[in-house]
Amino acid sequence: LESLKGVGVDISRIEVMNDIPTGQAFITVDDQGENAIIIIAGANGKVTKELIDSNLALIKQSDIIIMQLEIPLEIVGYVKKIVEEDGKIVILDPAPAIKDIPENILKGIDYIKPNETELQILTGMEVKNRKDITEAAKILIKKGVKNVIVTMGGDGCLYINKDIEEFFPAYPVKAIDTTAAGDTFTGYFISSIIDGMPVKEGLEMAAKASAIAVSRPGATASIPMKREVLDSRL
């Protein structure tokens, strides 16, 4: 909580549960900077409809709702149903990915941001190359997702919807630790939406921020401040 507060995050509505530990992630990093993560959901897995209802006014005030899958899937669906009636932008970061997400949850999501492994789990389709990634992403579009952003590490990212298919190359850097690269990408992309930037510019900024993050060790500590990204000459 102090770490979040230290960088200006409003922590006033974070709930503390006394009978269950905080969610934990145990991360290993290989010599190429790639990571593997073991997740223990802890308190994240205990988010309930009652907890959502108690914060409904705050949710209603928000323009953008972002969720991932460390909270129960039924809660993701519950929140989506609440906010889609108000025209909120809904973003799903499907991590950790699970199979067979019901189409009523996927339908109408504004942006979903899987990496290659998560895309494979979500669609049940093996992805070996960019063509496979495109075809798998189209499966999600057919299920009702409006926009799919597939992050591909050092290869860049693919942005696709029913009208557009565009590839954005990654910034060339030496990867020290890829932990938090996806979260950095998501955060900066959301920030670009808030700032009214076109999607293409937002994806480029997100890619630049992620490139800075992977060039440093650690998770939260590797995420760059916005001024640093804007001033970067990558």
Which residues are annotated as catalytic?
183
Buried b or exposed e, range 133-153, using 16+ CB within 10 angstroms: bbebbbebbebebbbbbbbbb
144: left (phi over 0), alpha (psi -120 to 50) or beta: left
Radius of gyration (C-alpha) of the chain in whole angstroms: 17
**Around 28, how many Cα atoms within 13 Å sit in the side-chain half-sphere?**
4
Nearest one of 231, 209, 232 to 222, comparing CA atoms: 209
Q: Is 228 helix (H, G, I), strand (E, B) or coil?
A: helix
> Contact at 8 Å (CB) between 112 and 103?
no
